[in-house]
Amino acid sequence: MAARSSFRVIARRAAPKQSPPRMHAQAKGDCFASLAITLCLVLASAPLAIAAEGDVDQGRDTYQDLCSSCHGPDMVNPGTLSFDLRKFPKDDFARFRSSVLGGKGSAMPAWTGKISDEDLANLWAYVRSGG
């Protein structure tokens, strides 16, 4: 029995070491590209996560302060040319964000730098509630 165990030890020592497999430059580049895309998607979805957590009551207050003079109280269009926000697609935060922050030419001012991300999320929660 002793001969057998010493043979195993010798056999293990005699086996050549195997180096870990190396990644080819192309595989490394693909891995980096995948990581970069994933990071971009996570960062791009951050405003969507914030928007999902908006507060409807605070959004109503912000709406009354900033939006009601054109879009009407409680989003009821006062007969002006402004968009009826009750009809805004409830699943299109990206469009809402773009419209609010970028404005609509002379029809609507841009609010970039004038409202916080939290205010935007609250406004979105209020618009999604339908008023």
Domains of the chain by range and CATH?
26-129 (1.10.760.10)
Residue 58 makes CB contacts below 8 A (sequence gap 6+) with: 119, 122
pLDDT at 109 over 50: yes
Mean pLDDT of 34-49: 55
Q: What was the pLDDT predicted at 50? A: 46
Report d(CA 112, CA 101) in Å as an integer. Answer: 5
Q: Looking at per-residue confidence, does 51 or 57 come out higher? A: 57
- Cα torsion angle, 27, 31, 32, 34, sign: positive
Global pTM exceeds 0.85: no
Q: What was the pLDDT predicted at 80? A: 74
